[in-house]
Structure 1
Amino acid sequence: MKKNSRNSIGFFLKQKRKATGLTQEEFAIRSGLGLRFVRELEQGKQTVRLDKVNQALAMFGYEAAPVKIARDELEVEDDK
């Protein structure tokens, strides 16, 4: 998945945060996450900290779950 994709969790969280009128700093404080993590997540930086991603999603009543992706969306390392 490309950085800043409209399908990304970071894009989703940014839209939800803005819809509730929270700044990144306010969101970080309320969610108990670091401001740097919130910024990087919204910018599409890949992370292995699924616990923190779920902590952010929980602010809006969501959690990360496996979703099957279309074959044409898969990135194959050999094609790069």
Structure 2
Amino acid sequence: MKTLATIIKELRKANGLTQQDLSQKSGLGLRLIREIEQGKTSMRMDKVNQLLALFGMELSPTPKARNNE
């Protein structure tokens, strides 16, 4: 399963955007873009959704994978 950091980075690159471009298009700070792509573990969901909206996506709850016991 891909992490949020990996998904954001792949989407950015697939759309030919630099981190600076993504910052400008999303209205989020460059520092936050870098932190997200580096896997920062605590973020405001509204900011992540603001970023994901550029790619037609949003955060949503999904069932957690269970380990076979």
| TM-score (structure 1 length as normaliser) | 0.78
Matched with 1:50 is 45
Residue of 22, 25, 28 corresponding to 2:20: 25
Matched with 2:54 is 59
Q: How many angstroms apart in 2 are the aligned matches of 1:32 and 1:48?
A: 16
Gap runs ≥5 in structure 1: 1-5, 73-80
Matched with 1:41 is 36
Query: Percent identity, aligned pairs only?
Result: 51
Q: How many angstroms apart in 1 are the aligned matches of 2:63 and 2:37?
A: 22
Q: How many angstroms apart in 2 are the aligned matches of 1:37 and 1:25?
A: 11
Secondary structure (helix, strand or coil) at the match of 1:59 reads: helix
Residue of 8, 13, 30 corresponding to 2:8: 13
Q: Which has the larger radius of gyration?
A: 1
- 1:9 is displaced (CA, Å) by 1.4
- 1:48 is displaced (CA, Å) by 3.4
Q: How many angstroms apart in 2 are the aligned matches of 1:16 and 1:39?
A: 14
Moved over 3 A (4+): none
| TM-score (structure 2 length as normaliser) | 0.90
